[in-house]
C-alpha cells in the first residue's frame, strides 16, 4: 500500500502520561489478573504516570468482567472490547493506536516477561532507540530464559528463516515484550495489517524499511502454560505472511517516517 494513501494515526504532540501498556487478551481469565496486578505494582513502584490498555479480543470467558472489576478500582486501566476474535495483531494494533503515553509497551497477557524488565528496554530508548524489543535469544549473565526444548529450537529455526528472508540481525522477533516511542508505535501500527501472530515480523520489517533504530535487549522470560500459538501451523502461516509483507510495504522508506514526523509537527 503506497505511503501517501495510508491513513496514519498521528503521534501525540504532548501527553501527561509517561507510559501506555497494551495487553491483548483472548480468553485469559486464569492469567490476566496476575499479570495486571504485577504490572501495576511495578509501575507504581517506579512512580510513572501510566495507563494500562487491555484489548479483549472477543473473549467468550470472563476476561472482560474480571478486568472490568479491577478497572473500577484502578482508573488507570482501560478496556477496548472487540465483539469478535480478530487475532493478536489486530488487538495490539487497536491498543497502540489508542495509546496516550509518550512511550508504548506491548506485553503478553501471560506475564512471561516480568514487568520489571521494562527498565532494560527503557534504557535503550533513553539512549536514542525508537524501538526496543525483548529477546530470549540474546545472552546476558543476569538473564534466565525457561522454556520447553521443542519450542526453543523450533522458534530459533523460524527466526533463522525470518533473518534470511526479511529481517537480518534480529535473534528473536516473537518475544511478547516490546517498547516504542509514541511516534514510532503510531507510525508502525498505522501501516501494519497482520491480524495474527506474524504481526511482530511485520512491525520489525516496517521499522527496518523506515530506518528506525531498533535495539534487541535480553530479558528474563519463563514459559507459561496456556499458549495459543501452534508452533507448526502458525509458523507456516507466518512464513507465508513474510512474502505478503515484502510486497505490501515496498513503498515504505526512510523518507516515509521523516515525512510523517514533519507533517505531525506541522499540525
Give the 3-state DSSP-derived string for 108-139, with helices as H, strands as E and coil as C.
CCCCCCCHHHHHHHHHHHHCCCCEEEEECCCC
Residue 59, SS3?
coil
Q: Decide if domain 12-266 falls under CATH 3.40.50.300.
A: no
Cα 82 to Cα 24, 57, 62: the distances in Å are 11, 5, 14
C-alpha cell at 222: 519463563
Cα 2 to Cα 90, 144, 210, 253, 267: the distances in Å are 20, 42, 13, 11, 22
Other CB atoms within a 10 A radius of the CB of residue 204 amount to 24
Strands (E), 140-223: 145-146, 177-181, 214-218, 221-222
Whole-model pTM above 0.85?
yes
Residue-wise pLDDT tens for the chain (267 aa)? Answer: 333 345 788 887 677 899 999 999 999 999 999 999 999 999 999 999 999 999 999 999 999 999 999 999 999 999 999 999 999 999 999 999 999 999 999 999 999 999 999 999 999 999 999 999 999 989 899 999 986 655 566 667 777 888 888 999 999 999 999 999 999 999 999 999 999 889 999 999 999 999 999 999 999 999 887 666 665 676 677 778 888 999 999 999 999 999 999 888 776
What is the structure's pLDDT at 30?
93
CB burial class (10 A; 0-12, 13-18, 19+) of residue 47? exposed
What is the structure's pLDDT at 5?
45
CB 172 within 8 Å of CB 218: no
C-alpha cell at 248: 505490501
C-alpha cell at 99: 495509546
In the chain, domain spans: 12-266
Residue 101, SS3?
coil
Amino acid at each position: 500500500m503506497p505511503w501517501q494513501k495510508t491513513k496514519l494515526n498521528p503521534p501525540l504532540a504532548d501527553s501527561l502520561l509517561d507510559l501506555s501498556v497494551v495487553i491483548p487478551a483472548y480468553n485469559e481469565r486464569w492469567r490476566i489478573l496476575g499479570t495486571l496486578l504485577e504490572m501495576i505494582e511495578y509501575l507504581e513502584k517506579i512512580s510513572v504516570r501510566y495507563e494500562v490498555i487491555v484489548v479483549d479480543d472477543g473473549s467468550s470467558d470472563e476476561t472482560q468482567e474480571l478486568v472490568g472489576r479491577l478497572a473500577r478500582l484502578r482508573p488507570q486501566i482501560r478496556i477496548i472490547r472487540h465483539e469478535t476474535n480478530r487475532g493478536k495483531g489486530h488487538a495490539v494494533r487497536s491498543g497502540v493506536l489508542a495509546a496516550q503515553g509518550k512511550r508504548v509497551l506491548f506485553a503478553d497477557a501471560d506475564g512471561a516477561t516480568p514487568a520489571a524488565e521494562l527498565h532494560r528496554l527503557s534504557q535503550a530508548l533513553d539512549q536514542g532507540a525508537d524501538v526496543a524489543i525483548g529477546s530470549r535469544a540474546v545472552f546476558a549473565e543476569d538473564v534466565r530464559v525457561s522454556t520447553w526444548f521443542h519450542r526453543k529450537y523450533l522458534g530459533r529455526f523460524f527466526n533463522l528463516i525470518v533473518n534470511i528472508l526479511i529481517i537480518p540481525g534480529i535473534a528473536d522477533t516473537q518475544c511478547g515484550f516490546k517498547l516504542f516511542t509514541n511516534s514510532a508505535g503510531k507510525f508502525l501500527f498505522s501501516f501494519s495489517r497482520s491480524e495474527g501472530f506474524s504481526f511482530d515480523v511485520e512491525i520489525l520489517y516496517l521499522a527496518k524499511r523506515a530506518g528506525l533504530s531498533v535495539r534487541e535487549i535480553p530479558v528474563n522470560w519463563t514459559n507459561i502454560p496456556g499458549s495459543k500459538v501452534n508452533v507448526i501451523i502458525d509458523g507456516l502461516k507466518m512464513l507465508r505472511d513474510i512474502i505478503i509483507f515484502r510486497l505490501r510495504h515496498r513503498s515504505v522508506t526512510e523518507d516515509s517516517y521523516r515525512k510523517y514526523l514533519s507533517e505531525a509537527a506541522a499540525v
